Structures are given as C-alpha cells and as structure tokens.
C-alpha cells in the first residue's frame, strides 16, 4: 500500500496552496498533499538526466498511451487526429468561448461550479447564463425546467463539470444523454470538463459516462477535456488534452488557439505518459484513502453541525459544505479565525458555503475538521 499518511513539508516551496496564506492551514485549492506515483517521478528523473530541454512535441508512446487510456478507461476508440494537446484545461475553456461563439453570444452553465466556469465568458465577450443545480436528497441534479427557461437564441455553449466540482456528483448515462439532447435541441456545443473522472470513489456504483460515450449524433457537438493532473497530483506540470470527434469543431478550436498559448514543456509529456501507463495501482490506493477521508468529513460535519449539508460525495477529493441553515453570516471568516484556509462558496456561485479539500493526511484533516466545527458552532 502507498503511504499517504506521512506529512510532506510544502511550505516555502513556491506552493500556491501552502504559500499564498502562510498564516493559515490550507485545505482549499484542488492540489493534494501526496507525492505523485513513483513511476512518474522516475520518468521525470530519466528525462531530466537526458539533459536537453528543447521545444517538445508529443512523442508516439504518449499518443499510444492516451489512445489506450481512452479505450480502456472510457470505452471509446479514438484517433490521434482527434486529440488536441493543451497546457491546461482553463485555457481550453477560454478558447472555447472564442472558437464556438461571437461577442454578444452567451455561455450556459450550472452552479455551484468551478470558478473559471463563471469567468471565462469575459474572454470571449459573452453573456453568462447560470442555473442552480437542484438538491435531490444530497444528490445534486440538473434543473431541466430552469435550463429550458434560461437558454436563448444567443446561447452557444454549455460548459459541464463531470464529475462535478464542487458537488462531487457523477452524472448518470441518462442525465448525460438528456443533456446531449438539450444541447442538440438548442444548437449548443457541449464542453465537458472531465478532469476528475479518474477520482470516482465507487466506480461500480457510479460509473463515469463521458461525453465521448454519447450516441454519435450527440457526440459530434462535444469537446471533452481530460488531464492526469488532479488524479496524479501533477497539475504544476501543465498538461491536458481535448478530444474533439467532429472535424469542423476541432478546426475551429485549434484555429482559436492562434499563438496565445505557450509551448507544453517537455517534462509534462513524460509525466502524463507515466501516470496513465503505470499509475493504476497507485490510483486504487489513493481512492481507498480518499474514501476514508470522505467518510470522516461527512460524519464530522453532519454530526457536529446539525443543519449543515454535505452532498453525497461520489467523486473528487473536494467537499461542498452548505452552511446556509447555520446562524453564521460569513462561514469563510469563521474558518479563517480558526486558522483554516478554505475555498469561499461565493466564488462558485453560492454564498454561505465552503469547499474543503480532503486530499491530505487523515490526521491533519481530522484536526482541521474539529477546528472548523468548533468555529461554526460558536
């Protein structure tokens, strides 16, 4: 078993998570406190030992690995031509606003959601249309009636987070097909951010249904975004990829890239290959550890803070805590007073909520939860 319990000193290493607010204990940004799989660090060491770090392109064994990943994990047969290599997923969201819409058009999404979803419309001078998810006894679902009421002829894009960040929801096959049909009916391009799809905590109970698994006529209007970064804790290396089956959409997307994106660094390609090719045993150990942390957090919050709501966390290492029923106007301020750096729900589109990153050592998480419960009860 992989050792996830041993703390790793990160403060003072130029870490966004740990060094932005060094006075607080950080459980905010989606960055785990675990070392990456040894196969990843070994691949990086070998590449560094080569000693030459010139401009890089995807090498053939990486491409083969990605195609194998798409076949074995997602169940789709793709081709090298359908893959667009990227230096990150947020730039891809921004590119989509320019590739598939014109200034004055609109982008549609559902909240609460990863904050860049609520900001990238500005990059394309678009209007933002947002609809709240519905809480169905802890499982957040699409509000189809509200979506139908919100979509307009100006709407050109729907941006989806699946698995959902911050709600931890894994959308079902039926929901994804319904969304695909909604996009088809309203002539929307579906941008499906699936960066957390390898962090599903019980894949038998809630299997991932990708936009790439949609029927052909629905899949043709999709851009699926994937990356090893969250699962294998290599976000700082900056690698992601899009799979775009439709030739016309892919040309529009790559044309929108222009010359504004930096080169992908040579180390990132090798880390991605090693993660996907050799990281499965480590991933399974990680999921077991995260399940323990998920259960601990759910128990501590629901028992210690009656009225606070935690969704059924089916995926990710991120927990959404809805504090609206508590007599606390600013839960983020209470958390900071307790010495904790959490994510403010306001940035996700919902005030008086918190997001907690439980991808850390269990003992540290337990201590932080005790501080948080005490702070919010006071």
* CA-based max dimension of the chain: 59
Q: Where among 213, 245, 277 does a domain terminate?
A: 277
Name the residue with tokens 């798409």: 70
Q: Is the pLDDT of residue 89 over 90?
A: yes
CA–CA distance, 372 with 378 (Å, rounded to integer):
10
CA–CA distance, 147 with 201 (Å, rounded to integer):
29
* pLDDT, position 130: 98
CB atoms within 10 A of CB 46: 11
Q: Is the pLDDT of residue 106 over 90?
A: yes
Residues 164 and 309 in one domain: no
Residues 222 and 352 in one domain: no
* pLDDT, position 253: 97
Residues 361 and 241 in one domain: no
Asked, for residue 89, whether it belongs to a domain, the answer is yes
Residues 223 and 340 in one domain: no
Residues 271 and 349 in one domain: no
pLDDT digits (tens, 9 = 90+) for 144-164: 999 999 999 999 999 999 999
CATH of the domain at 366: 3.90.1150.10
pLDDT digits (tens, 9 = 90+) for 290-328: 999 999 999 999 999 999 999 999 999 999 999 999 999
* pLDDT, position 137: 84
- Mean pLDDT of all residues in 17-40: 98
Q: Is the pLDDT of residue 283 over 90?
A: yes
CA–CA distance, 296 with 172 (Å, rounded to integer):
26
Query: What is the domain count for the chain?
Result: 2
Q: Is the pLDDT of residue 77 over 90?
A: yes
Domain limits for position 188: 53-277
Residues 190 and 223 in one domain: yes
Residue from 101, 96, 107 nearest 253 by CA:
96
pLDDT digits (tens, 9 = 90+) for 253-272: 999 988 888 899 999 999 99
Phi, psi of 222 (to 5 degrees): -115, 150
Residues 20 and 132 in one domain: no
CA–CA distance, 155 with 189 (Å, rounded to integer):
9
> Are the CB atoms for 224 and 192 separated by under 8 Å?
yes
- The band of 329, judged by pLDDT with boundaries at 50, 70 and 90, is very high
pLDDT digits (tens, 9 = 90+) for 126-137: 999 999 999 988
């Amino acid at each position: 078993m992989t050792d996830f319990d041993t703390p790793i000193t990160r403060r003072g290493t130029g870490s966004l998570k740990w060094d932005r607010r060094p006075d607080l204990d950080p459980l905010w940004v989606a960055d785990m406190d675990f070392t990456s799989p040894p196969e990843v660090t070994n691949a990086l060491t070998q590449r560094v030992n080569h000693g030459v770090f010139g401009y890089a392109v995807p090498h053939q064994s990486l491409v083969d690995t990605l195609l194998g990943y798409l076949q074995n994990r997602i169940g789709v047969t793709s081709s090298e031509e359908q893959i667009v290599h990227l230096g990150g997923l947020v730039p891809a969201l921004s590119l989509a606003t320019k590739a598939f819409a014109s200034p004055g058009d609109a982008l549609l999404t559902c909240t609460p959601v990863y904050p860049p979803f609520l900001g990238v419309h500005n990059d394309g001078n678009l209007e933002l249309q947002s609809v709240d998810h519905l809480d169905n006894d802890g499982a957040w679902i699409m509000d189809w009636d509200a979506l139908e009421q919100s979509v307009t002829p100006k709407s050109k894009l729907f941006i989806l987070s699946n698995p959902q960040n911050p709600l931890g929801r894994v959308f079902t096959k039926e929901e994804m097909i319904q969304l695909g049909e909604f996009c088809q009916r309203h002539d929307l391009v579906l941008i499906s951010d699936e960066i957390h799809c390898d962090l599903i905590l019980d894949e038998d109970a809630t299997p991932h249904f990708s936009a790439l698994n949609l029927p052909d006529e629905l899949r043709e209007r999709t851009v699926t975004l994937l990356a090893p970064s969250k699962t294998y804790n290599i976000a700082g290396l900056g690698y992601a990829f899009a799979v775009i089956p439709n030739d016309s959409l892919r040309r529009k997307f790559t044309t929108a890239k222009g010359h504004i994106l930096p080169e992908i660094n040579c180390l990132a390609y090798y880390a991605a290959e090693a993660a996907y090719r050799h990281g499965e045993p480590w991933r399974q150990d990680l999921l077991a550890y995260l399940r323990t942390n998920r259960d601990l957090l759910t128990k501590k919050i629901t028992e210690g803070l009656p009225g606070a709501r935690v969704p059924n966390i089916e995926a990710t290492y991120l927990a959404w805590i809805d504090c609206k029923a508590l007599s606390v106007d600013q839960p983020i301020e209470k958390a900071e007073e307790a010495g904790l750096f959490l994510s403010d729900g306001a940035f996700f589109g919902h005030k008086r909520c918190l997001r907690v990153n439980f991808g850390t050592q269990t003992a540290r998480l337990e201590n932080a939860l005790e501080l948080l419960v005490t702070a919010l009860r006071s």
